[in-house]
């Protein structure tokens, strides 16, 4: 084997070793990168869930207040002899004296 061939073989071994070391480093670091990325995403999702919970709580309170107010208005109309129109089915309000 001449010196030139030996140099080429040595260069190939060094290049292969460097590539292998880079792959091993990336392989070892990948799980930590995934954990960090997933942790950040989880924080964002938890914040979104909290925001949606707040909106849902607000809408629940609003719906309860609106239903109470509508019931009071319907009762006042009925007590004064004014015929109360049937509410839309989507409101799920049973008419006064109904079996529902």
pTM of the model: 0.52
pLDDT on residue 100:
46
pLDDT tens-place values along the chain, 100 residues long: 677 777 778 888 888 888 888 888 777 776 776 778 888 899 999 999 999 999 999 999 999 999 899 889 999 999 999 998 888 888 777 665 655 4
pLDDT on residue 37:
84
DSSP state of 93: -
Tell me the backbone φ, ψ of residue 61, rounded to 5 degrees. -65, -40
Q: DSSP string spanning 1-40?
A: --HHHHHHHHHHHHHHHHHHHHHHHHHHHHHHHHHHHHHH
């Amino acid at each position: 084997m001449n010196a030139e061939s030996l140099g080429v073989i040595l260069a190939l071994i060094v290049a292969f070793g460097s590539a292998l070391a880079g792959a091993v480093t990336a392989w070892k670091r990948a799980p930590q990168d995934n954990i960090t990325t997933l942790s950040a995403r989880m924080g964002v999702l938890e914040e979104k869930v909290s925001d949606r919970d707040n909106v849902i709580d607000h809408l629940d309170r609003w719906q309860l207040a609106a239903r109470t107010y509508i019931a009071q208005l319907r009762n006042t109309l009925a007590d004064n002899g004014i015929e109360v129109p049937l509410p839309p089915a989507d409101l799920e309000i049973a008419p006064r004296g109904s079996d529902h």
